[in-house]
Amino acid sequence: MFEILAAARLQYTRPMRILLLLSALAATLVAQSPFALKPNDRVVFFGDSITDQRLYTTFAETFVVTRFPQSNITFTHSGWGGDRVSGGGGGPVDVRLWRDVLPYNPTVVTIMLGMNDARYRAFDQTIFDDFDKGMRHIVTILKRQLPAVRVTLIQPSPYDDVTRAPLFEGGYNNVLRRYSDFLKDLSNTEKLQVADLNTSVVAALTKANTLNAADAAKLIPDRVHPGPAGHLLMAKALLEDWHAPSLVSDVEIEPARKTVSVQRNTRITELNASGKSISWLQLDQSLPMPVDAKDPLTALAVQSSNFHEALNQQTLKLTRLAPGTYTLAIDAQPVGDFTAEQLATGINLAKLPTPMTQQAARVHALTLQHTAIHNTRWRQVQVPLEKTNSPELLSALKSLDELESTIVKEQRATAQPLPRRYELTLN
């Protein structure tokens, strides 16, 4: 009897072991997938009013510029409110592509359309067929004119049927999910990248609604256009589907032995431990993603998601410290007080107001500046005056391009990590 049970157990455990091994291998392969963007890429964000808000796009740009400060990846933000796959206020879609995408010779194009295409009503097959045909047309034009382009189809961001009751049975977001399924199938057929900016944002919105229903309703205040906190969640979803790394830096120090046992994506020098003080010089290879933790809606969005775990890990760990509370200062700026137990477990500096997060916030301010200049050049000068044939117009456009280029250079210079002096003092 025991032999039969043992044999049965072995028969059962072997497939389970194989399944577990395959799952672990799959997880490892996902973790090792390279970031979708490459050095010197030229990215164009194409879409409707949600892209036109220039929020998820600028968050994504700032992440890339601060996480890969030597990559020289450039970004153009070409959203136009009201757009469908057929075009809109900026002209027919072919005009949009030939004027607002192709001249930038992109190596990467993201496309987020669908919110307007589904017409804010229950699913309609005829309307969907127009979307199907129009999206295929956009992809065909891009691949024909830019054979090496890498296209990311973005599944539409949510219509908020979470914090408010759906307007009809099933809700509009479920209609958008059907459009999302089509985009996923199209990406497989055409060998394109796909990014889901709906599922994880809905999950965060649902959790936020349980934590603070009044503020959760403000994440997508008109049910269509997210505020900055909602766009931060969208940027997170895009970056995750692009396989963005979570690592900023990872440091583990054993002060008693005056050794650095872990230093990933950083370099530690001048380690000194004497008396109640421990100090070192640290030069990271990237900056954390700046997050406005003082904004209540941003704080709610971060609390309702795994934002820091997924994208913002700047770990500092010190082991075998004497019991007590320690003050951490970086470049003589107090960062916080931590117990020996907290430091032994590890703290995530990306969550704290460090000189590095402040530096990254300056990078984001420059991101917003250069995109505002480009938008003014494009929407206020180029398009309204496109039938004007005058040297003054060409001169004005050139001057605005040069101004934007100057801001981008400052953005890239500001994104370069600096050596930082750390000091940990026992209180």
Beta bridge partners of 79: 47
11 pLDDT higher than 90: no
Lowest-pLDDT range, 20-29, 60-69, 168-177, 367-376?
20-29
pLDDT, position 2: 37
18 pLDDT higher than 90: no
Beta bridge partners of 317: 252
Give percent above pLDDT 90 in the chain.
Answer: 91
Neighbour count for residue 267 (Cβ, 10 Å) = 14
* Alpha-carbon radius of gyration of the chain: 25
Lowest-pLDDT range, 27-36, 44-53, 113-122, 394-403?
27-36
3 pLDDT higher than 90: no
Each residue of 240-257: pLDDT tens digit? 999 999 999 999 999 999
pLDDT, position 418: 98
Average pLDDT over the chain, rounded to whole? 93
Neighbour count for residue 181 (Cβ, 10 Å) = 11
Distances (CA, A) of 42 to 101, 136, 213: 11, 22, 40
pLDDT, position 32: 61
Nearest to 237 by CA among 151, 156, 162, 299: 156
User: What average pLDDT score do residues 407-416 get?
Assistant: 98
pLDDT, position 120: 98
Domains and CATH numbers, the chain: 35-241 (3.40.50.1110), 251-385+392-427 (no CATH)
Q: Are 356 and 420 in contact (CB under 8 A)?
A: yes
pLDDT, position 319: 96
329 pLDDT higher than 80: yes
349 pLDDT higher than 70: yes
Model confidence at 33, in pLDDT bands (50, 70, 90)? Answer: confident
User: What average pLDDT score do residues 301-317 get?
Assistant: 98
25 pLDDT higher than 80: no
d(CA 247, CA 250): 7
Residue type, 88: G
Model confidence at 274, in pLDDT bands (50, 70, 90)? Answer: confident
d(CA 395, CA 192): 38
pLDDT, position 275: 83
145 pLDDT higher than 60: yes
Distances (CA, A) of 314 to 59, 128, 207, 250, 308: 18, 44, 25, 6, 9
Each residue of 353-382: pLDDT tens digit? 999 999 999 999 999 999 999 999 999 999
193 pLDDT higher than 90: yes
What values do phi and psi take at 286, rounded to 5? -155, 175
Kindly tell me the burial class for residue 179, based on how many C-beta atoms sit within 10 Å of its own C-beta (0-12, 13-18, 19 or more): buried
pLDDT, position 121: 98
User: What average pLDDT score do residues 108-117 get?
Assistant: 98
15 pLDDT higher than 80: no
d(CA 225, CA 231): 9
Each residue of 68-109: pLDDT tens digit? 999 999 999 999 999 999 999 999 999 999 999 999 999 999
What values do phi and psi take at 250, rounded to 5? -145, 120
221 pLDDT higher than 70: yes
Bin 64: left if φ > 0, else alpha if -120 < ψ < 50, else beta.
alpha
What values do phi and psi take at 152, rounded to 5? -110, 115
